[in-house]
């Protein structure tokens, strides 16, 4: 074969490679354009809710501390020398709450004091579905304050409760709970599209992780938006996912049980056979039976049976040696026989799915990692307004530039 033929063949191969590369680049640009549009539209439509969730979530990380600072007489007590050993029996504490409650109310939930100086909170529900939160001094079984809520009250009259209602249900009642979950899923999709848009297809990885110099106004907006979103992507994504789970658990539980079949659902029902005329045991008796089997840790919660087939769920936190991150055990007690029906704790998990589900609340609140975890959650929430503002300003400046360019020829 002559040199001219070899050269011609080489040129032909090179031309085909250039053409194929051009087609690939064109496809990449087309797909990137679609991802950029998806990210833009998601940001403009549900991005504002990221600001709402972020700011309210940052406040709620220190919900109790702020509420105590605003209402010390209601939420804090003088600690006797005996400390928690001086707690009155739970039956006396609940009796004090019942005396202060509205007529025909029933106890639905009890939350223990998380520190020596804090009160216990007893939740009471009325037949109208209005409810009250009654705070009781655990050392003296004395009511320190009562907060009342309407059945359809979208905006509570108490500051921190209003912040929680905005974060949890967007001031829209039960409907808002579902809307907030849907918004969380859309924001997770926005994060996913953002990672795709950020991915450095040109291979310039170093510039993708830093704020570049010299600082130019538009590029600074872009780099702030990019770097904050990138470095906090996992934290914000985990917070959104856990928030979606707590607002609308059924879809996530369903998928988790498909992927991890041994995962148990909520332990909220007694065995179906309930003897006629059987009388439920008292909450104090349920606590005593749970503590007889599992005495470690402090009493953190009591969930009352919701109906005739429900169970007591007694929670204890700070259980020694149980977990370095979230040391909680929840014991389900039959409301009639007092038998222990189920135990949920890090050492009784049956699947990876249960571990995943049990971690959602500790991760969402940051409490799984103590104060460093809470500060990370707080910082992630405070970064959300910056992420949204920088993205919005970039879109606004581009839009204004296009308008000016379209007006200039006519002028």
Do 378 and 333 sit in the same domain of this protein? no
What is the structure's pLDDT at 309? 87
User: Confidence band (pLDDT; 50, 70, 90) for 402?
Assistant: confident
Tokens of 405: 């360019």
Q: What is the mean pLDDT of residues 51-61?
A: 97
Q: Is the pLDDT of residue 343 over 70?
A: yes
Residues 58, 144, single domain; the answer is yes
φ and ψ at residue 320, rounded to 5 degrees? -60, 135
Phi then psi for residue 350, to 5 deg, are: -105, -5
Q: What is the dihedral of CA 266, 271, 272, 273, to 10 degrees?
A: -170
Q: Answer yes or no: do 238 and 174 share one domain.
A: yes
Q: In this model, does residue 409 exceed pLDDT 70?
A: no
Q: Are residues 384 and 245 in the same domain?
A: yes
pLDDT, tens only, 317-338: 999 999 888 999 999 999 999 9
Residue 88 falls within a domain, yes or no?
A: no
For a pLDDT cut of 70, what percent of the chain falls above it? 90
User: Is 68 among the domain residues?
Assistant: yes
Of 156, 183, 186, the residue nearest 171 (C-alpha): 156
Query: Using only C-alpha atoms, what is the Rg of the chain?
Result: 28
Residue 14 pLDDT grade (very low, low, confident, very high; cuts 50, 70, 90): low
- Does residue 38 belong to any structural domain of this protein? yes
Q: Is 329 in the same domain as 281?
A: yes
**What domain range includes position 180?**
12-76+140-264+368-401
Task: For residues 16 and 51, state if they share a domain.
Answer: yes
Buried/exposed code over 189-220 (b: 16+ C-beta within 10 A; e: otherwise): ebbbbbeebbeeeeeeeeeeeeeeeeeeeeee
DSSP track, 271-338: -S---TT--PPPHHHHHHHHHHH---SEEEEEEPPSSTT-EEEEEEE--TTT-SS--EEEEEEETTT-
pLDDT for position 155:
94
pLDDT score of 81: 85
Which residues are paired to 315 by β-bridges? 301, 330
Classify residue 103: in a domain, yes or no.
no
Give the phi and the psi of residue 361 in degrees, each rounded to 5: -65, -50
Specify the number of domains making up the chain: 2
160 and 22 in a common domain: yes
What SS3 class is residue 220?
Answer: helix
The rounded mean pLDDT for the chain is 90
Residue 115 domain-assigned? no
Please report where in the chains the tokens 């110099």 appear, as a residue: 213
Mean pLDDT, to the nearest integer, of 274-303?
90
Verify that 62 and 165 share a domain, yes or no: yes
In a domain, 124, yes or no: no
Asked if residue 318 and residue 204 are part of one domain, the reply reads no
What distance in Å separates the CA atoms of residue 302 and residue 291, rounded to the nearest whole number? Answer: 12
Using the CB atoms, write b or e for 137-159: b if 16+ within 10 Å: bbbbbbbbebbbbeeeebebebe
CATH number at 289 reads 3.10.450.40
pLDDT per position as a tens digit, 69-108: 999 999 999 999 877 778 999 999 999 999 999 999 999 9
Are residues 72 and 25 part of one domain? yes
Give the pLDDT confidence score for residue 5 in this predicted structure: 56
pLDDT (tens digit, 9 = 90+) per residue, 228-246? 999 999 999 999 999 999 9
Note whether residue 112 is domain-resident.
no
| Res 11 pLDDT > 60 | no
Looking from the CA of 332 toward its CB, the CA atoms found within 13 Å total: 17
Q: Say if CB 141 and CB 94 are below 8 A apart.
A: no
As a whole number of angstroms, the distance between CA 109 and CA 97 comes to 12
399: enclosing H helix or E strand:
helix 370-410
Decide: 261 and 253 in contact? Cβ < 8 Å: no
- Read off the pLDDT of residues 172-211 as tens digits, 9 standing for 90 and up: 999 999 999 999 999 999 999 999 988 887 777 888 788 8
Where does the pLDDT of residue 1 fall: very low under 50, low under 70, confident under 90, or very high at 90 and above?
A: low
Task: Give the pLDDT band of residue 27 (cuts 50, 70, 90).
Answer: confident
The predicted-structure confidence for 117-159, as pLDDT tens digits, reads as follows: 999 999 999 999 999 999 999 999 999 999 999 998 999 999 9
Quick one: which of 85, 95, 87 has its CA closest to 143?
A: 95
pLDDT of residue 399: 87
In this predicted structure, the answer to whether residue 215 has a pLDDT above a threshold of 80 is no
Residues 216 and 317 placed together within one structural domain of the fold: no
Q: Minimal CA–CA distance to 368: which of 330, 327, 326?
A: 326
Q: Enter the DSSP assignment of 61.
A: T
Residue 311 in domain: yes
- pTM of the predicted model as reported, rounded to 2 decimal places: 0.88
Residue 317 sits in the same domain as residue 286: yes
């Amino acid at each position: 074969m002559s040199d001219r033929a070899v050269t011609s063949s080489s040129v032909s191969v090179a031309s085909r490679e250039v053409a194929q590369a051009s087609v690939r680049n064109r496809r990449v640009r087309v797909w990137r354009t679609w991802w950029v549009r998806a990210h833009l539209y998601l940001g403009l439509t549900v991005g504002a809710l990221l600001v709402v969730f972020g700011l309210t979530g940052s406040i709620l990380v220190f919900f109790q501390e702020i509420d105590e600072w605003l209402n010390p007489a209601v939420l804090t007590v003088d600690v006797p020398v005996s400390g928690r050993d001086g707690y009155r029996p739970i039956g006396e504490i609940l009796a004090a709450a019942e005396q202060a409650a509205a007529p025909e109310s029933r106890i639905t939930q009890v939350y223990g004091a998380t520190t020596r100086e804090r009160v216990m909170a007893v939740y009471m529900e009325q037949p109208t579905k209005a409810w009250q939160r009654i705070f009781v001094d655990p050392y003296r079984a004395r009511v320190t304050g009562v907060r009342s809520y309407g059945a359809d009250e979208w905006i509570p009259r108490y500051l921190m409760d209003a912040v929680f209602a905005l974060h949890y249900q967007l001031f829209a009642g039960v409907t808002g709970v579902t809307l907030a979950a849907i918004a969380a899923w859309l924001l997770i999709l926005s994060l996913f599209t953002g990672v795709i848009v950020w991915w450095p297809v040109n291979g310039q990885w170093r510039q993708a992780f830093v704020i570049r110099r010299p600082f130019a106004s538009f590029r600074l907006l872009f780099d702030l938006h990019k770097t904050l979103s990138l470095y906090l992507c996992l934290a914000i994504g985990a917070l959104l996912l856990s928030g979606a789970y707590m607002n609308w658990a059924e879809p996530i539980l369903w998928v988790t049980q498909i992927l991890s079949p041994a995962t148990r659902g909520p332990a909220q029902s007694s065995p179906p056979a309930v003897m006629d005329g059987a009388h439920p045991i008292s909450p104090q008796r349920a606590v005593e039976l749970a503590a007889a089997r599992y005495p470690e840790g402090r009493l953190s919660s009591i969930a009352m049976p919701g109906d005739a087939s429900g169970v007591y769920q007694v929670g204890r936190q700070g259980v020694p040696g149980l977990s370095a991150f979230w040391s909680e055990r929840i014991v389900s007690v039959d409301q009639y026989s007092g038998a222990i029906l189920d135990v949920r704790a890090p050492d009784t998990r049956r699947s990876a799915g249960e571990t995943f589900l049990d971690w959602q609340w500790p991760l969402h609140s940051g409490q799984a990692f103590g104060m460093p975890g809470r500060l990370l959650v707080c910082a992630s929430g405070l970064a959300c307004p910056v992420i949204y503002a920088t993205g919005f300003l970039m879109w606004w400046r581009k839009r204004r530039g296009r308008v000016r360019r379209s007006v200039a020829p006519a002028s």
